[in-house]
């Protein structure tokens, strides 16, 4: 059986210090006093911790490798990755190859140290973070990378206080266009499925677009029409099941993700509610399966090719110490069968 190699986190736990302090001591940082450095080095010796000297020498060199770290978003052991990231990863790999970069890809569990190993050991010149379930934990997990100056970008998080560069879609604008389309079809009681809190900024922006569209149309924002669910198809099923059981009237559903919209449509059909005749359904993401459903799912498309280019170009600028800017990618409304009104708009 292979023996687990000790890490700086193991040393930190042993000496009762932060991982940042331990990393500084191991790298002989002048920010660490002699006594702290001695304690850390003694613990490292006890644990047979070895610093990778070859990797350390690479700190001042470019190795033309990028790391893509993906968070576990779904509570499924067999498929924990948000399916929206699959075409995005494909576009990243393609564009990175065109730019002369190799790419390392890693699935990061919630308990992982989220990238400090990549930055400290210089396994990559820069890091791209993808994920939305643990946004709130990003801030303290990124502190170490900020302190050591490692280049990194993050998809979707509008947090300039912690992120060096944020790239994301125009979530608010996309949601607004989707809900306005439903309103133009004559829908007046539109349910929202998804998160709306600051802990989930992408979904919060989509909820804000939903609210703005209702306000502009003179329609009320009703708590009863908001199902506070996260991402998975099963949560869309449960949300619609609850609304129908509680007798809450609605004639349209705008879901913050396609997975939620699929679950909503599935449950509506199972409960003998006609889609789109009785209830229109609209999602967000434009997963590949949307056009294969029956009825096919209307949605808001995020441009994964443009997103990949913005992420890699932005990260390249950070690696070269060039100025960068927060980027919001335009979205596009894709009208299919699930919301009706195909005669009004086609894509």
Each residue's pLDDT tens digit, 55-83: 444 444 677 899 998 887 666 656 678 88
Residue 257 falls in which region: left (phi positive, over 0), alpha (psi -120 to 50) or beta: beta
Encode pLDDT of 188-235 as tens digits: 999 999 999 887 888 999 999 999 999 999 999 999 999 999 888 999
Contact predicate 148/160, CB 8 Å: no
Number of H helices, E strands in the chain: 12, 12
Encode pLDDT of 82-107 as tens digits: 889 999 999 999 999 988 899 999 88
Rounded Cα distance, 206 and 183, in Å: 16
- Cα radius of gyration rounded to whole Å, the chain: 23
Which tops the pLDDT comparison, 300 or 49? 300
| Predicted local confidence at residue 106, as pLDDT | 85
User: What is the distance, to the nearest Å, from the Cα of residue 31 to the centroid of all Cα atoms in its chain?
Assistant: 34
Contact predicate 47/79, CB 8 Å: no
The helix (run of H) or strand (run of E) holding residue 53 is helix 53-57
Specify the long-range contacts of residues 8-16, CB closer than 8 Å, at least 24 apart.
8/49, 8/116, 8/120, 9/113, 10/47, 10/49, 11/40, 11/43, 11/44, 11/47, 11/49, 14/43, 14/46, 14/47, 15/39, 15/40, 15/43
Which tops the pLDDT comparison, 218 or 317? 218
For residues 256-285, average pLDDT: 97
| Predicted local confidence at residue 47, as pLDDT | 84
Please state the φ and ψ torsions of residue 278, each to the nearest 5 degrees. Answer: -90, -40
Rounded Cα distance, 282 and 125, in Å: 40
Rounded Cα distance, 331 and 259, in Å: 18
For residues 292-315, average pLDDT: 94
Rounded Cα distance, 333 and 295, in Å: 17
Does the pLDDT of residue 53 top 50, yes or no? no
Encode pLDDT of 121-180 as tens digits: 567 888 898 876 655 666 566 666 666 667 888 888 666 555 667 888 999 999 999 999
Degrees (nearest 5) of the Cα angle 37, 60, 46?
30
Encode pLDDT of 119-134 as tens digits: 545 678 888 988 766 5
Degrees (nearest 5) of the Cα angle 197, 200, 205?
75
Structure tokens at 136: 């709130």
Average pLDDT across the chain, whole number: 84
Rounded Cα distance, 189 and 224, in Å: 10
Does the pLDDT of residue 290 top 80, yes or no? yes
């Amino acid at each position: 059986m292979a023996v687990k190699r000790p890490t700086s986190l193991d040393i930190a736990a042993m000496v009762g210090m932060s991982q940042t302090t331990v990393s500084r001591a191991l790298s002989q940082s002048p920010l660490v006093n002699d006594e702290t450095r001695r304690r850390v080095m003694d613990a490292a010796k006890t644990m047979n911790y070895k610093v990778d000297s070859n990797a350390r020498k690479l700190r001042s060199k470019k190795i033309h490798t990028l790391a893509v770290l993906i968070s576990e978003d779904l509570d499924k052991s067999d498929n924990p990755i948000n399916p929206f990231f699959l075409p995005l990863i494909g576009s990243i790999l393609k564009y990175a190859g065109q730019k002369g970069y190799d790419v390392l890809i890693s699935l990061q569990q919630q308990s992982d140290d989220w990238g400090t190993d990549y930055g400290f050991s210089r396994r990559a010149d820069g890091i791209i973070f993808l994920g939305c379930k643990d946004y709130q934990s990003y801030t303290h997990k990124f502190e170490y990378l900020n302190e050591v100056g490692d280049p990194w970008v993050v998809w979707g998080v509008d947090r300039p206080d912690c992120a060096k560069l944020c790239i994301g879609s125009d979530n608010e604008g996309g949601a607004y266009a989707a809900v306005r389309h439903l309103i133009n079809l004559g829908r007046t009681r539109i349910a929202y499925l998804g998160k709306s809190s600051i802990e989930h900024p992408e979904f919060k922006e989509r909820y804000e677009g939903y609210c703005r569209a209702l306000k502009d149309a003179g329609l009320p924002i009703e708590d009863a029409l908001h199902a506070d669910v996260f991402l998975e198809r099963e949560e869309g099923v449960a949300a619609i099941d609850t609304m129908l059981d509680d007798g809450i009237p609605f004639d349209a559903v705008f879901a913050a993700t396609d997975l939620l919209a699929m679950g909503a449509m599935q449950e509506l059909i199972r409960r003998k509610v006609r889609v789109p005749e009785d209830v229109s359904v609209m999602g967000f993401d434009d997963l590949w399966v949307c056009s294969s459903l029956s009825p096919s799912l209307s949605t808001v498309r995020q441009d994964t090719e443009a997103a990949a280019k913005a992420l890699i170009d932005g990260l390249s600028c950070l690696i070269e110490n060039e100025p960068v800017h927060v980027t919001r990618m335009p979205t596009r409304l894709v009208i299919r069968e699930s919301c009706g009104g195909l005669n009004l708009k086609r894509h």
